[in-house]
Every structure is written in structure tokens, then in C-alpha cells.
Amino acid sequence: MSEIPELVTRRDHPEWWIKRAQHRRLITGALPGVLLRTDVAPTPYWRARAVMAWRPTAVLCGEFAAQRTFWKELDVGVIEVATRTAVTRDGFRFVKRTIPAALQMQLGWFRMVSPALAALDLSLTRGPEVIERALRSRMVTVEQLEAALAASPNRSGNRDRRRRIAESRTRPWSAAERIAHQLLREAGIRGWVANHAITVDLWTFYLDIAFRDIKLAVEIDGYQLHSQRTVFEDDRERQNDLVLERWTVLRFTYRQLTRHPGYVIDTIRSGMRVAAELHRRRATRTRPPSTL
């Protein structure tokens, strides 16, 4: 089998095309004019390669574009393709759709939609967690999401996509953070930023929510992640570093956010008062004496 190429086209490999009937157990039809070796035919990579061999102007969308950029762990099912030609094949979904050039990218063999457009599209079927993952990867920004939406007007589902972007303007990195941001907005609490970078002893880490002016940090703990021993220990070291840097730290769980939102907001308000008072006292102690 290794002597047979993984991908055979009528144009580039006429000799194998002629022999295809003799190797019907080793070669399977993928797309018009394109064959794949049977051992690689089920893999998303080679199905996507078959698309590019069949129609170089086609644009790969959805799961495959996400998996090749910001979501490496994604298990790709159907290969979604934007093209002007309707073809029906198992394992593929062809959509008559024109992708603006500004929302396309070339990555190796593949012409794909941009990570921002892939995240927007998948958010309709997989929820806002897709956008959170894309933002967390640092390959997508909220500004790029907004530009992708603006460049694709009048599409079905754009209202929901616009809502997803609005929910992501504070850049939540998890479902729990998104809920926390929503609670803060609904309570009218201002003066905070999300995922604030802080460097301590040459190490940079990110505070889930930070009131920078008064040095109040709000950390969101997810049980599944924080139950891991290494993460648990890292969190304690991180909290110690914050305290030594004179930050006031509050911690909340997903359960508290969803079942006891009033407690969360009341505690944050109290924390803001305590942190503001501590900040005022420190500023007073460090203020130079008057010369009058």
C-alpha cells in the first residue's frame, strides 16, 4: 500500500487513475477527479487535502478551520466547504457561500476561513464556549470578531452572533467568567478589567477580574480544573504572591455564581470597600510630609 500515493488526481497521476480499478480495495473515491488511499481516506487532514486538490478556490470552514488554528483538540467530523459548486459526498458538507478575501487565510495546503470567522460560525452550534476558547488562544480578538461579522452581513444567525460578541467584549476565558462578568454588569459595578496580566518575580499570570485602582482581585475557581493537584498548588502560590504584592483576593466557585449570585455581588461590594480603604491608608503612609 505504501507504493500508492495517499492522494491521486486524474490530472497529476494519470497512471494511477488508469490503474484505479485494479486497486479498488486500496483506493477510494473522494471527490470528482480525486481518489484517496483507503487507510487515509477517513482522516480529516486528507479529506481536506482532497478538497484542495479538487477545487483550489474552495474555502474550508467550521470545525476543520478551528482545529487547524485555535482548537487543536477538536475532533473534526464533517469537512465543511464554502464553494460555488454543490457536490454531495459522505464526510463533506458543501455550502454555496462566498467568503470575503479579508476573512480567508492560507495555512500550508489549506485555504480556510480566518479563526475569528470559524469561531463565530461554530458558536451557533457549540455555544459561546467556542468564542471563549478562541480568545483564550490569543489567535482571535474581539475586534476581529466584530470585523468578521461586519464583513458577512445579512447572514442567517447574525443576530445571535452579534449577541455572542457582546457577551465577549470583556474577554471571558470560561463559562464561569462569562457569568461573573454578566453579574457585575447587571449590578452596575464598574472599574474592573478581565484577565489582567501581572508580573511577580519575572512570572506573568492573569487575574480573572481585577479592580486595578484599588488592587482587588476576583478569582473564579472551576472544580474540574482546580481539583488537579498541580493546579491546586499553583493557585496557592499565586495567591501568596498576590497577597505579598498587597492585593486583596476574593475567590468564587461556579456553583456560587449560579446558585448564590446575590452573595457573590454583596461580597465583591464589601471587598471593594475594604480594598479601597487599604489602598487609602497605604497612600497616606507613603505620602511625603508637608513642608508647610
What type of residue is 57?
T
- Indicate whether 92 and 162 sit together in one domain: yes
Same domain, 159 and 182: no
> Would the pTM count as exceeding 0.85?
no
DSSP state of 57: T
Of 117, 146, 168, the position where a domain reaches its end is: 168
Taking only the tens place, the pLDDT of each residue in 58-107 is 999 999 999 999 999 999 999 999 998 777 888 899 999 999 999 999 99
pLDDT band at 227 (very low <50, low <70, confident <90, very high): very low
Domain CATH code at residue 198:
3.40.960.10
The string of DSSP codes covering 95-162 is EE-PPPGGGEEEETTEEEE-HHHHHHHHHHHH-THHHHHHHHTTS--HHHHHHHHHTSTT-TTHHHHH
Do 265 and 183 share a domain, yes or no?
A: yes
DSSP 162-181: HHHHHHHTT--SSHHHHHHH
CA geometry: angle 178, 184, 187, nearest 5 deg: 140
Q: Based on the domain organization, do 164 and 199 belong to the same domain?
A: no
Residue at 48 is within a domain = no
Residues 138 and 183 in one domain: no
Rounded Cα gap, residues 4 and 1, in angstroms: 6
Question: Same domain, yes or no, for 73 and 127?
Answer: yes
Provide the pLDDT for residue 107.
Answer: 94
Domain that holds residue 225: 175-286
Assess if residue 49 is contained within a domain. no
- Same domain for 65 and 12? no
Reading the block at residue 227, the C-alpha cell is 481539583
What is the number of structural domains in the chain? 3
| Contact partners, residue 211, CB within 8 Å, separation at least 6 | 191, 192, 217, 218, 272, 275
Residues 37 and 63 in one domain: no
Q: Is the pLDDT of residue 2 over 60?
A: no
Same domain flag for 131 and 37: no
Residue 68 lies in a domain: yes
